[in-house]
């Protein structure tokens, strides 16, 4: 009787162990599937819906803006995206929002990609994935012509009113040098420029090529690019959600082809007054 009791206990234990093992195996299988699903790029979903949803501001000349006559969205980065869509045989649907909202929209899955002269930085690379670059540039400062807004170097930024977006790299440069931040929403260039001209703000820290073209578009404002301030060499690219490996592969393959056949160079010269921003330049920087 005792032997039967022990035998029964042993069989019970073995059965219980088997059940636990099966459940554990099922759980592992389920977890593995979840992990696998999490690693699957949104490329599969993009193919199914037949479109790539792209965030951009629509207000940043000449990267992303509305043509004054046709009112159609265009610009250097917009046309790169349009060509990318053609070569991937996918529609491009744009969502126009400010820079601060673009990164949130990427993480929430509301958009697939974002383009808006977005710089590659170590901090952003920790949270997002970037394509290969298509623009090389550096930072400058727009100031008043009459007195350079009292700024002759980055050290003179302390206490000056700097206009820009809160999350931009250039605002961080200003922040590091003690500026008083004046944050704007998704406004057009003329608002930024006019405020410097009339003294509401003192300086705009931003990309050289964008600043140069903005000034050419609004010659009526008594402002200029500071002749002696060059800093922060940088590169721009398409940004997407972290670990979208297949989507990244598809985007980079097309970008490489566009670099090789001269398409990106031609678009750069079209939108940047003959300048080829797709080629890295050699400058002396602060």
Render 185-225 in DSSP notation, one character per residue: -S--HHHHHHHHHTTS--BEEEEHHHHHHHHHH-TTSSEEE
Confidence at residue 205, expressed as pLDDT on a 0 to 100 scale: 96
Residue 147, domain member (yes or no): yes
Residue 12, domain member (yes or no): no
Same domain, residue pair 177 and 53: no
Same domain, residue pair 124 and 150: no
Same domain, residue pair 208 and 261: no
Residue 51 structural domain: 43-134+237-271
Q: From CA 231, how far away is CA 279, in angstroms rounded? A: 18
Residue 158, domain member (yes or no): yes
Count of alpha carbons within 13 angstroms of residue 117, beta-carbon side: 28
SS3 category, 39: helix
Same domain, residue pair 148 and 213: yes
Query: What sign does the CA torsion over 124, 126, 129, 135 have?
Result: positive
Query: What sign does the CA torsion over 75, 80, 84, 86 have?
Result: positive
Same domain, residue pair 242 and 115: yes
Confidence at residue 38, expressed as pLDDT on a 0 to 100 scale: 40
Confidence at residue 280, expressed as pLDDT on a 0 to 100 scale: 86
Residue 283, domain member (yes or no): no
pLDDT tens-place values along the chain, 286 residues long:
444 444 454 444 444 444 434 444 444 444 444 444 444 448 999 999 999 999 999 998 899 999 999 999 999 999 999 999 999 999 999 999 988 899 999 999 999 999 999 999 999 999 999 999 999 999 999 999 999 999 999 999 999 999 988 888 899 999 999 999 999 877 888 998 999 999 999 999 998 998 998 899 899 999 999 999 999 999 999 999 998 999 999 999 999 999 999 999 999 999 999 999 999 877 776 6
Residue 101, domain member (yes or no): yes
Same domain, residue pair 111 and 249: yes
SS3 category, 163: strand
Same domain, residue pair 207 and 121: no
Same domain, residue pair 247 and 116: yes
Confidence at residue 193, expressed as pLDDT on a 0 to 100 scale: 95
CATH of the domain at 107: 3.40.190.10
Confidence at residue 114, expressed as pLDDT on a 0 to 100 scale: 98
Confidence at residue 35, expressed as pLDDT on a 0 to 100 scale: 45
Confidence at residue 189, expressed as pLDDT on a 0 to 100 scale: 82
């Amino acid at each position: 009787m005792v032997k039967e009791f022990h035998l029964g206990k042993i069989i019970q234990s073995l059965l219980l162990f088997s059940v636990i093992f099966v459940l554990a195996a099922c759980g592992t299988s389920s977890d593995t599937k979840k992990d696998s699903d999490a690693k699957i790029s949104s490329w599969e979903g993009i193919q199914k819906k037949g479109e790539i949803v792209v965030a951009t501001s629509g207000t940043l000349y000449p990267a992303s803006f509305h043509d004054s006559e046709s009112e159609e969205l265009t610009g250097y980065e917009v046309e790169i995206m349009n060509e990318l869509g053609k070569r991937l045989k996918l529609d491009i649907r744009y969502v126009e929002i400010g820079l601060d909202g673009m990164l949130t929209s990427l993480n929430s899955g509301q958009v697939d990609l974002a383009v808006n002269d977005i710089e590659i930085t170590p901090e952003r690379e920790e949270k997002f994935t970037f394509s290969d670059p298509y623009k090389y540039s550096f930072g400058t400062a727009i100031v008043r012509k009459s007195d350079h807004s009292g700024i002759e170097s980055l050290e003179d930024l302390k206490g000056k009113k700097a206009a820009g977006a809160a999350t931009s790299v250039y605002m961080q440069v200003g922040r590091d040098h003690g500026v008083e931040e004046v944050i704007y929403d998704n406004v057009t260039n003329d608002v930024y420029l006019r405020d410097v001209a009339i003294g509401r703000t003192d300086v705009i820290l931003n990309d050289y090529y964008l600043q140069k073209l903005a000034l050419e578009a609004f010659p009526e404002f008594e402002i200029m690019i500071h002749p002696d301030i060059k800093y922060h060499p940088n590169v721009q690219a398409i940004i997407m959600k972290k670990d979208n490996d297949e989507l990244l592969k598809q985007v980079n393959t097309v970008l490489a082809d566009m670099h090789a056949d001269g398409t990106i160079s031609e678009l750069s010269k079209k939108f940047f007054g003959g300048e080829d921003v797709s080629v890295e330049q050699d400058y002396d920087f602060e």
